[in-house]
Chains A and B, each alone.
Chain A
């Protein structure tokens, strides 16, 4: 129940006292972590835990910008979530699944060789890549899919970029006997063909979205179109801390366990808090998950790494904070990439999971208040980090997570050897082997030749074949 150790609007009646009294095993690290007296931290915590407000706002961000047709469903979800959080049986079931199915708690690894190689702060890794399905996404989907059953709904839809959230959703739906449809941009079905196959093996229908930019934002558009027509029996399982209220709050709460565990593990391992916590940010769910428990610890720097693509200056990037402006997209007000007319600009990143023009509204608030800072890591730096982590630690991380590593290397050098940097290793990189192999020219000649020389935009001829295959398979499924 560590995941619910924070207050939220939907469960305003829910007090800290209750949380401790009903503590399940997973809450123990949190309780221990809270023990040191930090008067400033406690005050800050009180302030931060009041977000979002009653109307779902994080300061001026967040809210609900959706058609009236979805309002009833969002109200229903908000109420169902509030009740579930306060229901011992629901909490016990989720905690049970997290422990016995998802593999929580995930370990904290000391990256000795990486630390030595960088020559700066001691680097600790929170190993979400070792969670079932290979990323932190499972934390959220188990919660939302249990909630789906609780609401009496039988069908779950999801969007996916890298495919990690789609795979996690397909997994939870298989486990809980729910129908599952995953929307995925056509461009991403090509980049992440392995995950398309994984979702289909798990019994999900994968719908390739060919509208707009054919990436994550368009998959979300299509999922919203589905939801408005099927909302009576369908839950939209949003995969990040984004969308209309209550999603940014709810997904954060389900992901918060990352930071709750990590904070206790770091205290246990080194006897003090880390100096910095670093995570990659697309929508920002692993970052919100690992950040949130540390927000009251004002001495801990929280650093998010946005995807810089070819570099912010080129305009081909996915850095909503560094290169965007406040606006409204996908039901929320937040920072987003947009042109002078308010049209969404197409994002670019080698990482499908970070290739999104917006960012969760709570990150927008953390940025604006200065409690967290956001850096940009471009494609090349992320891929360098991916290779270095693989060679020094024997961990093949997701390209998304590699952005956090690249940012963390800089932070580790800036802070020096006495410091401790905690990195969110949010996912494993099996799905990215093909992209990485092309990037590093590791393929044997024939394949390498057909892949072309431009690694950031892998060979078009090859790609078309992959998309055609994915389409055929999709047709066969439907």
Chain B
């Protein structure tokens, strides 16, 4: 099957016949506009992740809205899953607690709606089985109806993505896929050909979680991705401080922070902190990270 070649500026023709590897997203998706605006400001986009339903559905919504108010450009709403094989201990703990609290896929969509209301492009980050169980077409329809901009599907490889690409194209959603330091040039090309919005570059070989240093493979991977696509490239895994965000922003179009933000919530829960105070601390870290991607962070790195 020959993949359809396209760059980010290629106009989409939703009515045209599309193979499973074709990407039918519109040229002016919310993510495209967001990355273009940041580029115009000479900075990287800040992407913040929090799981829906933790510590409660409304508590998570409040934290996500606080992130946006503090300068996070794009929100990833995590769909808590029973078997999060790509996540480290912090996100596992939050997801487990959210599931024990009874969070459902519908709650996740409600969260998307509440966050997308802020105007920030809002993505769902989900393992594949919950989408398949919900129904691929129904999930795309309901995500779009909730105002979602797309979904990141880390365990859905291009080989299995046909139905999702079709459904997301029909609903104008950006399907975001990951590349890793181990990805061959051929696989980078294959992923870039089907992805929409941005390419998610995993900075290292491993699971989510804060690291002392962002892998030195990240810059090389971003450079390799740029050889095969003009799509923006955002780097995730291991970024937890404003200093790291600033460093990544020197070579990537986007900086993705997850576990460091989740840890603020987890710590707050463990300490029995007042939820509003915890949300405020999420905002503080997000503001710090936002200064990082703008290259204006304070000289003392934030500790998260």
The answer to the question of B167 belonging to the interface, with a C-beta cut-off of 8 Å to chain A, is no
Q: How far is the CA of A272 from the CA of B82 in the complex (A)?
A: 48
Q: A71-B183, A72-B187 are in contact. Are A343 and B128 (CB under 8 A)?
A: no
Which of A228, A340, A343 lies in contact with B82, CB distance below 8 A? A343
- CB proximity of B37 to chain A, nearest CB, Å: 28
A100-137 CB mask vs B (1 if < 8 Å, else 0) is 00000000000000000000000000000000000000
Q: How far is the CA of A80 from the CA of B83 in the complex (A)?
A: 29
Query: Interface with A: B156-164, B227-235, B261-269, which one?
Result: B156-164
Q: Is A69 a contact partner of B96 (Cβ separation < 8 A)?
A: no
Which of B128, B179, B206 lies in contact with A228, CB distance below 8 A? B206
Query: Interface with B: A42-50, A312-320, A324-332, which one?
Result: A324-332
Chain A's closest residue to B103 (CB) is A341
Which of B130, B160, B180, B187 lies in contact with A64, CB distance below 8 A? B160
Chain A's closest residue to B80 (CB) is A343
Q: Is B183 a contact partner of A343 (Cβ separation < 8 A)?
A: no
A342-354 CB mask vs B (1 if < 8 Å, else 0) is 1110000000000
Q: How far is the CA of A73 from the CA of B131 in the complex (A)?
A: 26
Q: How far is the CA of A344 from the CA of B128 in the complex (A)?
A: 12
Q: How far is the CA of A73 from the CA of B160 in the complex (A)?
A: 18
- CB proximity of B78 to chain A, nearest CB, Å: 14
Chain B's closest residue to A73 (CB) is B182
Inside 8 A of B128's CB, which chain A residues have their CB? 65, 328
B163-186 CB mask vs A (1 if < 8 Å, else 0) is 000000000000001111111100
Inside 8 A of B130's CB, which chain A residues have their CB? 341-343
Query: Interface with B: A23-31, A217-225, A258-266, which one?
Result: A217-225
- CB proximity of A79 to chain B, nearest CB, Å: 12
Inside 8 A of B247's CB, which chain A residues have their CB? none
A205-223 CB mask vs B (1 if < 8 Å, else 0) is 0000001100001100100
Q: How far is the CA of A426 from the CA of B152 in the complex (A)?
A: 42
- CB proximity of A411 to chain B, nearest CB, Å: 34
The answer to the question of A443 belonging to the interface, with a C-beta cut-off of 8 Å to chain B, is no
Q: How far is the CA of A327 from the CA of B81 in the complex (A)?
A: 14
Q: How far is the CA of A342 from the CA of B155 in the complex (A)?
A: 14
Q: Is B182 a contact partner of A72 (Cβ separation < 8 A)?
A: yes
Q: How far is the CA of A366 from the CA of B161 in the complex (A)?
A: 25
- CB proximity of A340 to chain B, nearest CB, Å: 7
Q: Is B159 a contact partner of A212 (Cβ separation < 8 A)?
A: no
The answer to the question of B191 belonging to the interface, with a C-beta cut-off of 8 Å to chain A, is yes
Q: How far is the CA of A73 from the CA of B183 in the complex (A)?
A: 10
Which of A66, A231, A331 lies in contact with B205, CB distance below 8 A? A231
B83-98 CB mask vs A (1 if < 8 Å, else 0) is 1111010001000100
Which of A212, A230, A329 lies in contact with B129, CB distance below 8 A? A329
Prevailing SS type, chain A contact patch: mixed
Q: How far is the CA of A228 from the CA of B205 in the complex (A)?
A: 6
Inside 8 A of B134's CB, which chain A residues have their CB? 341-342
- CB proximity of B73 to chain A, nearest CB, Å: 24
Chain A's closest residue to B84 (CB) is A221
Q: How far is the CA of A327 from the CA of B160 in the complex (A)?
A: 13
Give the size of the chain B interface in residues (CB under 8 angstroms). 40
Q: How far is the CA of A226 from the CA of B207 in the complex (A)?
A: 9
Q: How far is the CA of A263 from the CA of B154 in the complex (A)?
A: 43
The answer to the question of A63 belonging to the interface, with a C-beta cut-off of 8 Å to chain B, is yes
Q: Is B178 a contact partner of A65 (Cβ separation < 8 A)?
A: no
The answer to the question of A55 belonging to the interface, with a C-beta cut-off of 8 Å to chain B, is yes
Q: How far is the CA of A162 from the CA of B180 in the complex (A)?
A: 34
Inside 8 A of A175's CB, which chain B residues have their CB? none
The answer to the question of B132 belonging to the interface, with a C-beta cut-off of 8 Å to chain A, is yes
Q: Is A67 a contact partner of B183 (Cβ separation < 8 A)?
A: no
Q: How far is the CA of A343 from the CA of B133 in the complex (A)?
A: 9
Q: Is B129 a contact partner of A68 (Cβ separation < 8 A)?
A: no
Q: How far is the CA of A341 from the CA of B109 in the complex (A)?
A: 12
Q: How far is the CA of A55 from the CA of B134 in the complex (A)?
A: 25
Q: How far is the CA of A65 from the CA of B183 in the complex (A)?
A: 15
Which of A71, A217, A232, A330 lies in contact with B187, CB distance below 8 A? A71
Q: Is A67 a contact partner of B154 (Cβ separation < 8 A)?
A: yes
Which of A218, A229, A329, A344 lies in contact with B207, CB distance below 8 A? A229
The answer to the question of B290 belonging to the interface, with a C-beta cut-off of 8 Å to chain A, is no
The answer to the question of B62 belonging to the interface, with a C-beta cut-off of 8 Å to chain A, is no
Which of A232, A331, A340 lies in contact with B133, CB distance below 8 A? A340
Q: Is B154 a contact partner of A221 (Cβ separation < 8 A)?
A: no
Q: A212-B96, A330-B83 are in contact. Are A68 and B160 (CB under 8 A)?
A: no
Q: Is A67 a contact partner of B132 (Cβ separation < 8 A)?
A: no
Inside 8 A of B181's CB, which chain A residues have their CB? 69
- CB proximity of A209 to chain B, nearest CB, Å: 11
Q: Is A343 a contact partner of B160 (Cβ separation < 8 A)?
A: no
The answer to the question of A338 belonging to the interface, with a C-beta cut-off of 8 Å to chain B, is yes
The answer to the question of B202 belonging to the interface, with a C-beta cut-off of 8 Å to chain A, is yes
Q: Is A342 a contact partner of B83 (Cβ separation < 8 A)?
A: no
Q: A65-B160, A225-B207, A341-B105 are in contact. Are A328 and B129 (CB under 8 A)?
A: yes
The answer to the question of B29 belonging to the interface, with a C-beta cut-off of 8 Å to chain A, is no
Inside 8 A of A224's CB, which chain B residues have their CB? 85
Q: Is A68 a contact partner of B207 (Cβ separation < 8 A)?
A: no
Q: Is A342 a contact partner of B105 (Cβ separation < 8 A)?
A: yes
In residues 342-371 of chain A, which contact B (Cβ within 8 Å)?
Answer: 342-344
The answer to the question of B284 belonging to the interface, with a C-beta cut-off of 8 Å to chain A, is no
Q: How far is the CA of A342 from the CA of B133 in the complex (A)?
A: 5
The answer to the question of B297 belonging to the interface, with a C-beta cut-off of 8 Å to chain A, is no
The answer to the question of B56 belonging to the interface, with a C-beta cut-off of 8 Å to chain A, is no
Q: How far is the CA of A342 from the CA of B132 in the complex (A)?
A: 8
Q: A55-B159, A212-B83, A228-B207 are in contact. Are A342 and B131 (CB under 8 A)?
A: yes
Q: Is B205 a contact partner of A68 (Cβ separation < 8 A)?
A: no
Q: How far is the CA of A71 from the CA of B182 in the complex (A)?
A: 8
Chain A's closest residue to B87 (CB) is A225
Q: How far is the CA of A72 from the CA of B187 in the complex (A)?
A: 9
- CB proximity of A59 to chain B, nearest CB, Å: 14
Which of A69, A72, A231, A328 lies in contact with B132, CB distance below 8 A? A328
Q: Is A63 a contact partner of B132 (Cβ separation < 8 A)?
A: no
Q: Which of A55, A212, A228 has the most CB of B within 10 A?
A: A228
Which of A55, A65, A73, A229 lies in contact with B155, CB distance below 8 A? A65
Inside 8 A of B178's CB, which chain A residues have their CB? 67-69
Q: A-contacting residues of B (Cβ < 8 Å)?
A: 81-86, 88, 92, 96, 99, 104-105, 128-134, 154-157, 159-160, 177-184, 187, 191, 202, 204-207
> What are 15 sample pairs from A and B whose C-beta atoms fall under 8 A apart?
A64-B157, A67-B86, A67-B155, A67-B178, A68-B183, A69-B182, A69-B202, A71-B182, A211-B96, A221-B83, A225-B85, A228-B206, A328-B132, A338-B129, A342-B129
Counting from the closest, the 3 A-B pairs by CB-CB distance are A342-B133, A69-B180, A342-B130
